């Protein structure tokens, strides 16, 4: 008989306190949603609409609609579509740091850059439904301004001059609706920019798209009632992950060279791993979160802290984001931010790295392709002369999750209920799941919370001492048991959320390894050890996942974001090289 | 009619939930206290006992007992007592950094150093009753070991080789009772050293004394039921402040060159200012607090964070403490510590300093001598060419205190009641005061706490923006409305605690200015603006305070501990120079 951990981690009461008001929702709010969607759709250019049918000579079949199809060729569309010049295709392949270098050298204009990315974002939107907001005209105008400034002065306005940047919708954006996925907030026009949004604007970023997140921003999936489900660029029947769903899908399609996400339980690392891109969840408070919009408005929850963070197609671009933020000395303007300037010259030799690898977290065993990727990674690192690589023995995973889940619903869902209730919108299945985290609606007393916070502090210390005892600096781990999740079904956050409650920095990266249905067969004889594994493990199926790229994740020591990123870069080079041989 | 703020800041219910159990206390615990005191007394050397009567040719009258006398000559006793050689007197006057330099250069031994300080600590004990624990034999042994090591190797064991260090009793100390002033914990022998205690041991510190703190460690005064009241070295009828009472009294007597204190509401800065020494309250989490013992055991309270910190006779010695801690990279061993290495080369020119001066916090007006010191400081800084000095307009002081006081009793005194109740010990008057902070025994709900934490976060941000708007980096302020407090009476924490809830670093320092009864006359016509001021302000009296040295305090920006200390050093030089002219 499998162990029961679901009752320990979730409030399994059949009834939730929240009751949707479908009459109010349908009469008052559905019309708003419809017009929001129509307006959004009207912003996308007609000339990049993909016509259903076979793309000439490319072997790619464009479906009648992407929503109900299994489409795996998203990332190939730019080249196949015929919508781009060769120069534009070249631009789409550039790293963010290459784009700004070229523009600063006068080799490329901001206008041609944003033109390419806007066209590609339009394709990404068709394939993945990643956008919550799109404003190409403003982007063109800003790009022209920047080009004019550069032509006249020979200077850039800042280190992001001309760089297209995409941003998760819940970053406050001045003058634009910032609903954070709540129907009731569809009319909320922001008066300020988030610190980071504003900073990047000032340093020359060109904004053109804001991307989707799930209802309550608390799923490792993507559904909200405003724009619906976002899809994975590598397989539209799979989830792009969440909650930075739209960023991952867009960046994964190379519709943006640099995305702004956020993470409190895996929301950067999980979608980055699902969509074959890079994502950094910094240690909390290294970045300003001023202007982060969510259900929490008048209640602070420091039991677990969210963080913003970058998503991109290279480690260097993640670092660019961190450097630009750090160079602005955010701690002088946002009291929340730690005064920890980004250390710019961290470099490792492979022999310096001491790593533990998680082949199983003890709760949900990794699916066959993930396990194969981990073992390949281990072997590749050993061959490359890694300083040390040991298997990580699972350490208090369930206890960490118990504390973590109590933290998420510390307010007994008071705030979520308020913002949801304002429109009466129905709950997505994974919102119901989230509202059952910890003790769910039945909030803990203040003293119980203080005790739980003490358990968290003790656990953080124990975990650190365990890393010291095992003499390792990094943990190489899956981001999820499978290469991506099934929409509406992803319930297990264990591979990522543990590092949120521990407040350790983490980087997701593409391995170059792909699911191969002939070798990564479902283990049908596996006996799940607990009810969570019983739920999750059977969801992997080699037929569904065939061809999916596999991402992994590197977690580091608290506040050692620089080292974690530098190590991830090195490790990724080793693994992806091995994946090609 | 004066405004009522007491009801806003305190739970004024006449009854407290806590009821002493005097039968249990007197039958079970008083005998333990008596033997604890006797054992403590027996550790002090007989040869340094001060005999009542006139000290030959020195004009100093040693009272029959210090407890019931007004004795103002504590700091003169070393020289006057005749107990010391000239070389020992010279040693007592050295800074900690000079001591370690001399020992490392072979110019002084650890043994002669500790010998001088042990004798002076014995005098300090008679004058101030500062000790909770005293162990000279262990200290001599350690000093001999260190001297032997140095003689044999020509090397020091570490950067504190041979330095006598005193430590507030609630730092865990391996193998010794660590009661933190609670009677019920008088048998609690510690199994570990606090991180800092251990670190300093390893780097060569010589421990010989552990010093007193008040019941619950939550008074700006010094009384506990174990050893009673600690006295101010400059006037035994006045309080040494608290809660680092014993450290301040001892260091003020030069019975220790470097003390280890702690601060959550003024507990380093207030006693440092009262006892004419230097004290640094760092930003929270810059130092390890591992092994800090208090009533909180299984409940974390991160609404307001305590911090350890140094107390000494010079700014350089405070920096020594911080550097040694930072050089040990505590963030690798204690998850709580921020990875913020101490910046070692911070220097200012006077023209770089932008300061606001607090002439009144809007709640309790500074007493005449404090006001005179502030105005003299302002004039001196202006004459010295300070970059900027403006008067600080009081900003949300009462609101800050309201949040802060709710934070202190966040657990509704659950933990204090448990540890007090274990012995049934009676409450000191200022423990009753502390237990009424915020909503006192009537604890807030979890949601109310989250709301209050949000108010704190908003306030921190507003305060920082206010500093930006006023374009200042430092706040020069009293630590208390008077140069010291009256024992059992000090209720107003406003001048220090505001910076705890804001989490700003602060340094207390001696100004060189003393109360002069002929000019610092009590303002008998002053009309208090509120009931707190009505209580505090009349306590100042020029006859009582005549001759008391005046300390002030410099607060800086969050995490800018280095800058705050460097600026305080410069400012102190300017003010103390002006005080001599």
Distance CA A407, CA B413 (A): 23
Task: Tell me if the bond preceding A100 is cis, omega within 30° of 0.
Answer: no
Residues 6+ apart with CB under 8 A from A256: A117, A121, A164, A165, A166, A209, A247, A250
Pairing of strands B164-168, B258-263: parallel
The residues in A 301-320 lying below 8 A from B, measured between CB atoms, are 301-302
- The answer to whether the CB of A173 falls within 8 A of the CB of A161 is no
Interface contact flag, A338 B333, Cβ < 8 Å = no
Instruction: Return the CA Rg of chain A.
Output: 22
**pLDDT band of A1, cuts 50, 70, 90:** low
Estimate the share of chain A in helix, then strand, then coil, as percent rounded to the nearest 5.
40, 15, 45
Tell me if chain A has a CB within 8 Å of the CB of B148. no
Average confidence (pLDDT) over A198-202: 98
List of domains in chain B:
43-339 (3.90.1300.10)
CA distance B241 to chain A (A): 30
pLDDT at A318: 98
- Contact between chains at B446 and A331 (C-beta distance less than 8 A): no
Distance in Å from the first CA to the final CA of chain B: 42
Chain B contact for A450 (CB, 8 A cutoff): yes
Read off the tokens for A465. 């001492």
Which of the residues of A are catalytic?
168, 243, 267
Q: Is residue A187 predicted with pLDDT exceeding 80?
A: yes
Q: Which two tokens stand for residue B542?
A: 């020029």
Do B301 and A450 make contact, defined as CB atoms within 8 angstroms? yes
Chain B residue with CA closest to A412: the answer is B447
Q: Compare all CA atoms of chain B with the CA of A285 and give the residue at the minimum distance.
A: B338
pLDDT-based confidence at A431, cuts 50/70/90?
Answer: very high
Size of interface A-B (CB pairs under 8 A): 112
What are the beta bridge partners of residue A292?
A171
What φ, ψ does residue A189 adopt, rounded to 5°?
-90, 125
Greatest extent of chain A over all pairs of C-alpha atoms, in Å? 74
CB contact under 8 A, B335 and A461: yes
The pLDDT value given to residue A118: 98
Q: Which residues pair with A131 in a beta bridge?
A: A211
Q: Is A41 helix (H, G, I), strand (E, B) or coil?
A: helix
% of chain A residues with pLDDT over 90: 98
Q: What is the 3-state secondary structure (H, E, C) of A216-230?
A: HHCCCCCCECCCECC
Q: Tell me, what's the pLDDT at B1? A: 59
Partners of B263 in the β-ladder: B307
Q: Taking CB atoms and an 8 Å limit, are A340 and B336 in contact across chains?
A: no
Q: Whole-angstrom Cα distance, residue A476 to residue A356?
A: 6
The 8-class DSSP code of residue B333 comes to T
Question: How far, CA to CA in Å, does A49 sit from each of A46, A81, A136, A295, B109?
Answer: 6, 10, 15, 35, 85
How do residues B429-440 score in pLDDT, each as one tens digit? 999 999 999 999
Locate A140 and state its tokens.
């063109």
Q: Which two tokens stand for residue B397?
A: 């002081």
Q: Is the Cβ of A346 closer than 8 Å to some Cβ of chain B?
A: no
Kindly report, residue by residue over A142-168, the tens digit of the pLDDT.
999 999 999 999 999 999 999 999 999
Q: Does A456 touch chain B (CB under 8 A)?
A: yes
ipTM of the complex: 0.96
Residue A176 above 80 pLDDT? yes
The pLDDT tens digits of the residues spanning A24-62 come to: 999 999 999 999 999 999 999 999 999 999 887 778 999
Task: For residue B302, give the nearest of A302, A332, A335 by CB distance.
Answer: A302
Annotated binding site of B for substrate: 217, 243, 264-267
Q: Are A5 and A532 in contact (CB under 8 A)?
A: yes
Provide, rounded to the nearest whole percent, the portion of chain A with pLDDT above 70. 100
Q: What is the pLDDT of residue A54?
A: 87
Quote the Cα angle for A563-A567-A570, to 5°.
Answer: 145
Per-residue pLDDT, averaged over B260-280, amounts to 98
CB contact under 8 A, A453 and B300: yes
- Does residue B383 belong to the interface with chain A, where contact is any CB pair within 8 Å? no
Q: List binding-site positions of B.
A: 217, 243, 264-267
Cβ distance A453 to B414 less than 8 Å, yes or no, reads no
Q: B335: distance to nearest CA of chain A, Å?
A: 5
| pLDDT at residue A58 in the model | 79
CA pair distance B103, B109, nearest whole angstrom? 6
How far B273 CA sits from the closest chain A CA (Å)?
A: 28
CA distance A29 to A424: 9
User: Is B395 touching A (CB cutoff 8 A)?
Assistant: no
A77, A122 Cβ separation under 8 angstroms: no
**Nearest-CB residue to B338 (from A446, A448, A559):** A559
Q: Is A334 on the interface with B (CB under 8 A)?
A: yes
Give per-residue pLDDT as tens, A324-353. Answer: 999 999 999 999 999 999 999 899 999 999
B460 touching A (Cβ < 8 Å): yes
Instruction: Give the sign of the dihedral formed by CA B424, CA B426, CA B431, CA B435.
Output: positive
- pLDDT of B58-68, one tens digit each? 789 999 999 99
pLDDT, tens digit, 9 for 90 and up, residues A126-137:
999 999 999 999
Burial class (CB in 10 A: 0-12, 13-18, 19+), B491: buried
Q: Does B24 touch chain A (CB under 8 A)?
A: no
Distances, alpha carbon B567 to alpha carbons B346, B348, B359, B474, in Å: 9, 7, 19, 8
Query: How close, in Å, is residue B464 to chain A by CA atoms?
Result: 7
Q: State chain B's mean pLDDT as an integer.
A: 97
As annotated, the active-site residues of B are: 168, 243, 267
DSSP label at residue A243: S
Residue A338 is nearest to which of B302, B338, B464, comparing CB atoms? B338
| The pLDDT of residue B2 is above 90 | no
Smallest CA–CA distance, residue A297 to chain B, in Å, is 9
Residues 6+ apart with CB under 8 A from A469: none
User: Which residues, 6+ apart, have CB-to-CB distance to B419 below 8 Å?
Assistant: B182, B184, B185, B295
């Amino acid at each position: 008989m499998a162990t029961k951990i679901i009752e320990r981690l979730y409030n399994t009461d059949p009834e939730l306190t929240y009751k949707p008001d479908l009459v109010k929702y349908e009469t008052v709010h559905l019309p708003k949603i419809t017009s929001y969607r129509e307006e959004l759709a009207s912003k996308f250019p007609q000339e990049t609409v993909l016509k259903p049918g076979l793309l000439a000579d490319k072997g790619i079949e464009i479906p009648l609609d992407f929503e109900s199809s299994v489409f795996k060729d998203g990332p190939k569309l730019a080249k196949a579509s015929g919508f781009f010049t060769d120069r534009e295709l070249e631009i789409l392949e550039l790293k963010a740091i290459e784009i700004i270098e070229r523009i600063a050298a006068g080799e490329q204009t901001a206008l041609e850059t944003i033109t390419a990315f806007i066209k590609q974002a339009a394709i990404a939107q068709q394939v993945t439904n990643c956008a919550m907001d799109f404003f190409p005209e403003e982007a063109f105008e800003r790009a022209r301004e920047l080009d004019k400034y550069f032509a006249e002065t020979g200077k850039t306005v800042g280190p992001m001059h001309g760089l297209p940047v995409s941003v998760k919708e819940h970053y406050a954006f001045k003058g634009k609706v910032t609903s954070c996925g709540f129907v009731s907030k569809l009319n909320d026009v922001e008066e300020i920019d988030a610190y980071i949004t504003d900073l990047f604007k000032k340093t020359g970023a060109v904004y053109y798209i804001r991307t989707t997140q799930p209802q309550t921003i608390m799923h490792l999936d993507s559904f909200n009632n405003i724009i619906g489900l976002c899809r994975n660029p590598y397989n539209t029947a799979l989830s792009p992950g969440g909650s930075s769903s739209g960023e991952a899908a867009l960046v994964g399609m190379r519709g943006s060279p640099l995305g702004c996400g956020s993470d409190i339980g895996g929301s950067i690392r999980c979608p980055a791993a699902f969509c074959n891109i890079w994502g950094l969840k910094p240690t909390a408070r290294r970045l300003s979160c001023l202007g982060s919009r969510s259900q929490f408005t008048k209640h602070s929850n420091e039991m677990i802290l969210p963080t913003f963070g970058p998503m991109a197609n290279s480690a260097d671009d993640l670092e660019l984001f961190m450097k630009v933020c750090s160079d602005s000395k955010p701690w002088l303007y946002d009291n929340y931010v730690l005064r920890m300037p980004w250390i710019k010259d961290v470099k490792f030799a492979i022999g310096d790295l001491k790593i533990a690898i998680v082949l199983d977290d003890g709760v949900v065993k990794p699916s066959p392709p993930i396990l194969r990727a981990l073992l390949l990674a281990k072997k590749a690192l050993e061959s490359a002369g890694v300083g040390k690589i040991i298997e990580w023995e699972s350490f208090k995973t369930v206890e960490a999750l118990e504390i973590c889940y109590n933290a998420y619903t510390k307010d007994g869902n008071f705030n979520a209920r308020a913002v949801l209730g304002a429109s009466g919108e129905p709950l997505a299945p994974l919102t119901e799941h989230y509202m059952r985290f910890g003790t769910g609606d039945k909030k803990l007393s203040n003293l119980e919370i203080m005790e739980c916070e003490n358990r968290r502090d003790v656990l953080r210390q124990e975990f650190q001492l365990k890393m010291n005892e095992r003499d390792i600096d990094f943990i190489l781990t899956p981001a999820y048991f499978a290469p991506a999740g099934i929409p509406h079904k992803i319930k297990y956050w264990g591979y990522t959320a543990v590092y949120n409650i521990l407040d350790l920095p983490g980087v997701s990266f593409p391995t170059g390894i792909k699911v191969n249905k002939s070798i990564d067969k479902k283990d049908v004889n596996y006996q799940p050890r607990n009810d969570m594994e019983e739920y999750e493990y059977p969801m992997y199926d080699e037929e569904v996942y065939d061809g999916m790229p596999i991402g992994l994740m590197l977690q580091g020591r608290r506040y050692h974001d620089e080292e974690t990123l530098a190590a991830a870069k090195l490790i990724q080079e080793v693994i992806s090289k091995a994946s090609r041989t």
